[in-house]
Amino acid sequence: MHISELQDTLGRTYLERDRARGIDGTFRWLVEEVGELARGLRTGDHENLVREFGDVLAWLGSVANLTGVDLEEAAARYATGCPRCGRVPCACEPR
């Protein structure tokens, strides 16, 4: 699936209700799902983890749609390697 297809489908599915809720409330949902991802990492159930990653992607898409950010453009910085050092694999100082 193209990133743009996902973002487009998320917009058709959720943008109206996301607008009604607003940016801050929608961002709060993103953070809630990141917390659920943390729990998923702790418990280790693979199928649950897949769901949590999906939910984080979905809410990230919602916030992107609300703020007019194109996730393809956002991802493009990483399309050919590390945006800091330009290399594959990354050759930055470990951090």
Residues that bind a copy of itself (CB under 8 A): 1-3, 5-6, 9-10, 12-17, 20-21, 23-24, 27, 30-31, 34, 37-38, 41, 46, 49-51, 53-54, 56-58, 60-61, 63-64, 67-83, 87-90, 94
* Residue 86 to residue 62: CA distance in whole angstroms: 30
CB of 71 to a copy of itself, least distance (A): 6
The three state secondary structure string of 13-44 is HHHHHHHHHCHHHHHHHHHHHHHHHHHHHHHC
Amino acid 26 reads T
CB of 36 to a copy of itself, least distance (A): 12
CB of 95 to a copy of itself, least distance (A): 8
* Residue 67 to residue 79: CA distance in whole angstroms: 22
CB of 45 to a copy of itself, least distance (A): 11
Q: Would you state the structure tokens that stand for residue 57, as one six-digit string? A: 């992607």
